[in-house]
Amino acid sequence: MARADLLLALVKSGAGQDDLAFRRAAEALIAEEEAKKHRVLAKQLSEALNRRRPTGAAVPSMARAKSNDGLVHEREPQRRLHDLVLPKLVHQQCAELIEEHYRRDLLRSHGVEPRHRMLFVGPPGGGKTSLAEAIATELAMPFLTVRYESLIGSFLGETASRMDALFAATRVRPCVLFFDEFDAVAKERGDTHETGEIKRVVSSLLLQIDKLPSHVIVIAATNHAELLDRAVWRRMQIRVELPEPTRAGKMEWLSSWSSRTGMNFGIAARTIAERLQDVSYAELEEFALDVQRRSILDGIDSDTTEITRRLLTQWTKRAGADIS
Distance in angstroms (rounded) separating the CA atoms of residues 181 and 223: 7
Choice between 57 and 194, residue whose per-residue pLDDT is larger: 194
- pLDDT of the residue at 122: 94
Q: What is the band of 4 on the pLDDT scale with cuts at 50, 70, 90?
A: low
Distance in angstroms (rounded) separating the CA atoms of residues 258 and 273: 14
In the predicted structure, residue 87 carries a pLDDT above the cut 50: yes
Calculate the average pLDDT of the chain. 83
Which ranges constitute the DSSP H helices of the chain?
A: 4-15, 19-35, 39-51, 62-66, 88-102, 104-109, 128-138, 148-151, 158-170, 196-211, 230-235, 247-261, 269-275, 281-298, 304-323
- pLDDT of the residue at 1: 45
- pLDDT of the residue at 89: 96
- pLDDT of the residue at 59: 38
Same domain, 19 and 119: no
Same domain, 276 and 174: no
Q: What is the band of 61 on the pLDDT scale with cuts at 50, 70, 90?
A: very low
Q: How many CA atoms lie within 13 A of 316 on its CB side?
A: 11
DSSP assignment letter at 115: P
Choice between 4 and 194, residue whose per-residue pLDDT is larger: 4
Same domain, 47 and 179: no
Same domain, 95 and 172: yes
Distance in angstroms (rounded) separating the CA atoms of residues 65 and 58: 13
Q: What is the 3-state secondary structure (H, E, C) of 238-294?
A: EEEECCCCCHHHHHHHHHHHHHHHCCCCCCCHHHHHHHCCCCCHHHHHHHHHHHHHH
- pLDDT of the residue at 136: 96
Same domain, 154 and 204: yes
Q: Is residue 205 part of a domain?
A: yes
Q: Is residue 83 part of a domain?
A: yes
Same domain, 104 and 228: yes
Distance in angstroms (rounded) separating the CA atoms of residues 73 and 167: 14
Distance in angstroms (rounded) separating the CA atoms of residues 320 and 297: 27
Q: Is residue 193 part of a domain?
A: yes
In the predicted structure, residue 208 carries a pLDDT above the cut 60: yes
Same domain, 80 and 208: yes
Q: Is residue 67 part of a domain?
A: no
Distance in angstroms (rounded) separating the CA atoms of residues 282 and 280: 5
Same domain, 220 and 95: yes
CB distance 185 to 205 below 8 Å: yes
Indicate the number of domains in the chain. 3
pLDDT digits (tens, 9 = 90+) for 253-289: 999 999 999 989 999 999 999 999 889 999 999 999 9
Same domain, 81 and 48: no
- pLDDT of the residue at 53: 47
Q: Is residue 316 part of a domain?
A: yes
Q: Is residue 65 part of a domain?
A: no
pLDDT digits (tens, 9 = 90+) for 209-240: 998 999 999 999 999 999 898 899 988 999 99
Domain end residue (candidates: 190, 220, 241): 241
Strand order in the sheet with 238-241: 72-75, 143-146, 175-179, 216-222, 117-121, 238-241
Q: Calculate mean pLDDT across residues 186-194.
A: 69
Domain end residue (candidates: 241, 259, 288): 241
- pLDDT of the residue at 267: 94
Domain end residue (candidates: 186, 215, 241): 241
Distance in angstroms (rounded) separating the CA atoms of residues 59 and 3: 25
Percent of the chain with pLDDT over 90: 49
Q: Return the CATH number at 89.
A: 3.40.50.300
CB distance 21 to 33 below 8 Å: no
Q: What is the band of 52 on the pLDDT scale with cuts at 50, 70, 90?
A: low
Same domain, 224 and 177: yes
Domain that holds residue 52: 4-59
CB distance 2 to 36 below 8 Å: no
Distance in angstroms (rounded) separating the CA atoms of residues 324 and 320: 6
Q: Ramachandran region of residue 252, left (φ > 0), alpha (ψ -120 to 50) or beta?
A: alpha
pTM: 0.76
Same domain, 206 and 274: no
pLDDT digits (tens, 9 = 90+) for 113-166: 999 999 999 999 999 999 999 999 999 999 999 988 888 776 657 777 888 888
Same domain, 137 and 25: no
Distance in angstroms (rounded) separating the CA atoms of residues 86 and 152: 33
Q: Is residue 66 part of a domain?
A: no
**Nearest of 175, 199, 211, 173 to residue 58 by alpha carbon:** 211
- pLDDT of the residue at 292: 94
- pLDDT of the residue at 219: 97
